[in-house]
Structure 1
């Protein structure tokens, strides 16, 4: 008997009637559940349209909680597959947010070779629904109670009578219709549950508090079940009169919850429940996966917090997580990959499954994280390895291949396709197509290699030529190995191919080059041989074979020491040094042959390299140079003879110069003295004598200068001098001769010409003097014009043009080159009429050429000649007044107070020098040799020493050197010593400066020059004291 229930005590409900929804379903061709028909009550029960459910059963199943959904689909699959009935009870969350308890029962039947399942969904959410259903239709309510395993009971508080429905009897596994008292009913509960029930019952009876509790009950047959017990006190006129209750068998639900709890807690995957507030529960795997201390660290936090700021696709983790949650609520389930960040900072990859379920009367998300970090790493490693393999194959021009021996199909890598000139499409060409690409001459080799590999199970390595579709010929190297199954049968052949076309062509080129090299070496016009590390011959030229008498022997591959066992240790060591990397050579080496003759040769040994660093052997070159050596020795002997002859000539000239200059010094010197106070009848004779002596001196100087030029010993000075004064002084020195001949000697100097320049004033004066002297010599009537003009000037150099123009006899065109040759004049008549050696213009020309200039000549017979040249001077920074300007002759003042030591062994020269020194008021002591000069210098205080170079007992060089070493050093180091000698050779002058002399005056000396130098050096000497 079913009692009435007060619905007001339950509160608001979604419907006043129990909703039943009949449906029909089957399995489609894909093995998935397909709902064929469902009545319109689906909207009342589930809150979704009938068409949406028929279109996709997932739209209905997605509303069911995760674990219960799996049970329902499992029941349906088993029922359809085994033609049995099924029963299911679970929670459903409608799209509107209602959480309902739904009961489903079904029965299978066959129809036109199909298995169909007919069933009904019953909404058993609230007990009030059942009571309404009972009031409306007791029969249907009874059936529904059976479906939901719900039983009712009531206690009449007035009589104490307990009434059970038939469901209560079935639930307690008792015969229906029996009567039971309250105490007997309580005994059915398990001991701990009995206390709970009594306490709830007492509260209901005493204070009217309804209860809803879950208890364990032991049935009459001894089965322990779980029940949900609800009770409420009924009032009438303010007094309790009846206690009504409902008992529902929830054993199956408890088993499901227990199973889900085990799955939830024991799963190695992380399971979490999340709602709008964050994580509301999770299992231990989630705590361990995130490396948290306990579950409390996770609760109320959204999983996105345990993530890096951005996901791999660039989206912010928090934003993307919201999108994923929305999709899961919308679709019911959603699966994707995610990157989480553990508490230790390490990132992990997980596969996330989101399921929208009902939990505690609201929709939440059941989240499952499956750690795929290792899989991701493996995938990444595999991807990286595949990429590396692909790139490596492309770089090395190698490809991989595999042949399925059952089907004959080929499987090629992309690079294998490219090697064969094919597009990488499909698995690979078939066997016949591949065979056609092999060169006809190599097909048998290929087939035999495959057979050999299959026969012996060994790796096969072979070279092939292939012909591409374009006709191009390529070389490949193939390597293959068979794979055997468990039965020992070869099922496939796999391996690699390498494009070796470049290497083959390079090898062919090397062989060709080797052949060319061997041919080149063999026909080389030099004795050359190439050896390996063991000194075995690799190649040798024909001349090598001839020189070493090897023409009739096959020496390639033979050790050099086997052919020449007498090879010395010295030569073996040289070969070893070459093998070590040294380059050795000797331009002149010799050995004595058995016949006693000396054989001369030159040789070179250098290593050759197999690779950049590895030495392969040595290359040796030898050449017999005996004939050349003998010729060189003869040439050296001839050179030495020529040098000896030149030295003898130089010595002869030096001796002759000295011997001539010594008497000339007296002749010219005393002529100067006589001309100072001449008798009238002697003036003309003295002038002739002076002129002749000076001409003779010019001749001697020309010969000496020419000798210096020929010997290459003439050097130029680079000193500051006054250019304008030099030109004027030369003109002044020549003026008397022009007056004597009755011709004009004019000087034209450019106003822009700088006064101070750097150069050799002596050689410039010599050049101008030669040209002016020649012009005066060959001009009888008219004039000689000397000009100096500026050509150009910059910050460093000045170029000056000099010109000497006369109105003399002129020079025929055919003779103009000849006059610059040694000892040559225009004609023999010229020599007889005008005199001279013919060296003046030669010396002038050579002096200009040595300074980078050239003499220019413009002449016409009978009209005169013009000689011109340009000279470059460095600019001088000195002011003209700071230069030691050469004073014109004749300006000689008193030098009183100056004391001089004259070292001279020739009494005539002593007499001459004393006469001039006396005129200048100079006190003079005489030393007849160098030894006496040293003694006098040490014991007396002199302002200047005039030192002859060639004297008895001690020459002037030694004397000067010893004077410099006297004490006190400061005094004798600064004492001026001037060489006064008849030797005018450059070597003597250089030697004088080396031993410490300050200046040099050649005999016969010019009185003006002697005066100036005494005045200059004596002043310096006094200033330094």
Structure 2
């Protein structure tokens, strides 16, 4: 190809050669495989030219006298043009140019401003299945289909008007099989006149490969959707009976039992929890593989998160006679932004592994600051144990899915082989890296470093170095808080329980009655709508999957009714589904919160306490806010400072979305505001925010316009201002429960 272009330059056709070179370079950038294809085409050139010459001869014989007469007339016209060019100065050079073009392995053409073909090579004749006399001096309308001619005129006009190269993909249906080509054209100037220079590249193989890839992607996506749905259904089918097993076991363990009976039931409970951990591992791995697991960024107390995690794991350690300790460096920041849920998940897995593989000695969780920047800090989390260790040749493979150090059927330690693979991928999603240092027989250290953003909130007082050996008292010194709501408090809620499974009905009734609440049962969504139309309830516990009308549909209809008549009853989702997006679907349907099955009494009591109605809506409920944070007043003050800074920004985002008429973006902004307001028990602002959420849901479902949402936003703004004033007063030393 390069030699042919050099030949054109040698005879003075520099413009033509440069134009072809530019076209080919453009195609090469778009598809790096074109240059090898050109070399293949050049090798086939001579063989195809000879075969097509025989075909043209045979076609002319078959056309008969009429075709011969037409060919002769066209030949005379072409010959006249050739004679004219020969008579012009440089005519011999043009003939040489045509010979060189004929040696190019790709179809090339040159047209004037009116679209008449002035030059082309034999490959172009073969591509169009027309002879030279049928093409020369004619336009595309003379021998192409109307649709092809129309597209050609459009692309020619685009090239003439823009002065830039125009490239498109076309299909030549006249071949068997059809041929896909890339057509490129550009305007060149020679001797003061402008011409259209173009060429074709056969991309049939590339397009076939692309289509095959697309089909493969679509097939993989369909398989992923099917797998996700199967796992969601599997989770539901396992969690539903496990909810009954764990709940009833918990109730029986609180009754009068012999030591042997208590030990047996404890084993049942432990086995049930182990099965749920396996299900959770499989679901988490599926979410990560499908790219459906997001990392959040919320303010949290990193020190308290670690201490709480270590406390929660202490029982397992004590059962094996191990010391479980926590070491926190004094320079650690306290309130940072990150994903505490995923960090806790990684720590629980690493600590659980350390306890499992350690027979004697201790397990230590240590945190330190690796680097501190203006906007973030890089914190190292390390879990050290004195266990069996990991052989050097196994240290790389333990992070692979389904891999275990001992994969034999006689192995001493069980597990799915997914825990470390999940941890590693979670850490990577948080922009970190999980590593291991281990000596067989001497223990292991699993560590990871992740960046956590500074919140800009200064500590009330510097914190001393912390070293916790559970179950010693926590040196952070949180004040004890009142116990969860129980029957003796006299403040029970009127709860509507929507649940269709008989075992789960009995379990939930027992738990709720034990907590001192009045319970009414509904076994489907229609029953919920009927009962709420006749009676008032403080809260609804709504199962998501029910026959007839499911929990999501019932919630939407109930919220629409509230939008028309006023009022708001909190709805808590209870579902055995635990796939990515299930919580979001519940919240988008209008539910206020979410409990995943199996539900234990402590989680249920905590959830119900959040929604206990107040005698009158207050600006702040500082006591309830402290209870949610285990009495940590310093942390609550810091969250207040943070909200005074972030709240106005959230409001600006909300008003901008409302002004743009975007209900989806507005709903996300309101949801963020509600998530912060609930930290302070800001009942008035929360009620106004919920009314705005209901209006936006109606907008998304076509039941109302944005004007109603704007009106609801106007009621939220003064409620937020009251919250800001109350928080500032508290920070200045005022009464936190005033107003």
Partner of 1:692: 271
Partner of 2:599: 1005
List alignment gaps of at least 5 residues for structure 2: 1-8, 25-100, 461-476, 618-682, 688-739
Q: Counterparts of 2:253 and 2:313 in 1: how far apart (Å)? A: 18
The question of whether the paired residues in 1 share the 8 Å contact of 2:165 and 2:187 is answered with: no
Q: Which has the higher helix share?
A: 2
Cα–Cα, structure 1 residues 519 and 633, in superposed 2: closer, same or farther, change >3 Å? closer
**Deviation of the 1:983 alpha carbon:** 0.6
The partner residue of 1:654 within 207, 232, 240 is 232
Matches within 5 A, 1:238-249: none
Partner of 1:533: 113
Q: Counterparts of 1:1015 and 1:648 in 2: how far apart (Å)? A: 39
Q: Counterparts of 1:948 and 1:517 in 2: how far apart (Å)? A: 72
**Deviation of the 1:739 alpha carbon:** 0.4
Partner of 2:577: 983
**Deviation of the 1:566 alpha carbon:** 5.4
1:768 aligns with 2:347: yes
Q: Which has the higher strand share?
A: 1
The question of whether the paired residues in 1 share the 8 Å contact of 2:526 and 2:549 is answered with: yes
The partner residue of 2:127 within 547, 551, 555 is 547
The partner residue of 1:800 within 362, 373, 379 is 379
Q: Counterparts of 1:548 and 1:819 in 2: how far apart (Å)? A: 61
The partner residue of 1:852 within 422, 431, 438 is 431
Partner of 2:14: 513
The partner residue of 2:337 within 730, 744, 758 is 758
Partner of 2:306: 727
The partner residue of 2:417 within 805, 813, 838 is 838
The question of whether the paired residues in 2 share the 8 Å contact of 1:706 and 1:843 is answered with: yes
1:945 aligns with 2:526: no
Q: Counterparts of 2:441 and 2:152 in 1: how far apart (Å)? A: 81
The question of whether the paired residues in 1 share the 8 Å contact of 2:378 and 2:452 is answered with: yes
Instruction: Specify the SS of the correspondent of 1:1018.
Output: coil
Q: Counterparts of 1:978 and 1:734 in 2: how far apart (Å)? A: 28
The partner residue of 1:600 within 168, 177, 180 is 180
**Deviation of the 1:574 alpha carbon:** 2.2
The count of residues paired between Structure 1 and Structure 2 equals 510
Cα–Cα, structure 1 residues 798 and 1007, in superposed 2: closer, same or farther, change >3 Å? farther
User: Relative contact order (alpha carbons < 8 A, sep ≥ 6): 1 or 2 greater?
Assistant: 2
Instruction: Specify the SS of the correspondent of 2:370.
Output: strand
Q: Deviations over 1:798-846 (max 9, x none)?
A: 2211000001111011111111111110012487322110000000000
The partner residue of 1:828 within 399, 403, 407 is 407
Q: Counterparts of 1:970 and 1:794 in 2: how far apart (Å)? A: 53
Q: Counterparts of 1:887 and 1:762 in 2: how far apart (Å)? A: 24
**Deviation of the 1:556 alpha carbon:** 10
Instruction: Specify the SS of the correspondent of 1:936.
Output: helix
Partner of 1:866: 445
The question of whether the paired residues in 1 share the 8 Å contact of 2:525 and 2:553 is answered with: yes
Q: Counterparts of 1:855 and 1:989 in 2: how far apart (Å)? A: 28
**Deviation of the 1:965 alpha carbon:** 0.7
**Deviation of the 1:737 alpha carbon:** 0.5
Matches within 5 A, 1:593-992: 593=174, 598-608=178-188, 616-679=194-257, 680-829=259-408, 832-877=411-456, 892-894=484-486, 896-967=491-562, 971-972=566-567, 974-992=568-586
Cα–Cα, structure 1 residues 579 and 635, in superposed 2: closer, same or farther, change >3 Å? closer
The question of whether the paired residues in 2 share the 8 Å contact of 1:729 and 1:888 is answered with: no
Q: Counterparts of 1:878 and 1:1015 in 2: how far apart (Å)? A: 29
Matches within 5 A, 1:336-355: none
Q: Counterparts of 2:188 and 2:15 in 1: how far apart (Å)? A: 14
Q: Counterparts of 1:830 and 1:889 in 2: how far apart (Å)? A: 49
Greater Cα radius of gyration, structure 1 or 2 = 1
Q: Counterparts of 2:441 and 2:317 in 1: how far apart (Å)? A: 19
Q: Counterparts of 1:591 and 1:557 in 2: how far apart (Å)? A: 21
TM-score by length of 2: 0.63
**Deviation of the 1:786 alpha carbon:** 0.5
The question of whether the paired residues in 2 share the 8 Å contact of 1:731 and 1:745 is answered with: yes
The question of whether the paired residues in 2 share the 8 Å contact of 1:650 and 1:707 is answered with: yes
Cα–Cα, structure 1 residues 968 and 994, in superposed 2: closer, same or farther, change >3 Å? closer
Q: Counterparts of 2:482 and 2:439 in 1: how far apart (Å)? A: 39
Q: Which moved more, 1:923-932 or 1:963-972?
A: 963-972
The question of whether the paired residues in 2 share the 8 Å contact of 1:590 and 1:600 is answered with: yes
List alignment gaps of at least 5 residues for structure 1: 1-507
Q: Counterparts of 1:535 and 1:853 in 2: how far apart (Å)? A: 61
Cα–Cα, structure 1 residues 827 and 797, in superposed 2: closer, same or farther, change >3 Å? same
Matches within 5 A, 1:140-159: none
The question of whether the paired residues in 1 share the 8 Å contact of 2:167 and 2:185 is answered with: no
Q: Deviations over 1:11-30 (max 9, x none)?
A: xxxxxxxxxxxxxxxxxxxx
The question of whether the paired residues in 1 share the 8 Å contact of 2:19 and 2:186 is answered with: no
Q: Counterparts of 1:978 and 1:964 in 2: how far apart (Å)? A: 13
Q: Counterparts of 1:925 and 1:951 in 2: how far apart (Å)? A: 17
Q: Deviations over 1:540-596 (max 9, x none)?
A: 56754553357x84999644549736565414532652464146856544353376x
Q: Deviations over 1:510-535 (max 9, x none)?
A: 93523644885847665443322133
**Deviation of the 1:961 alpha carbon:** 1.0
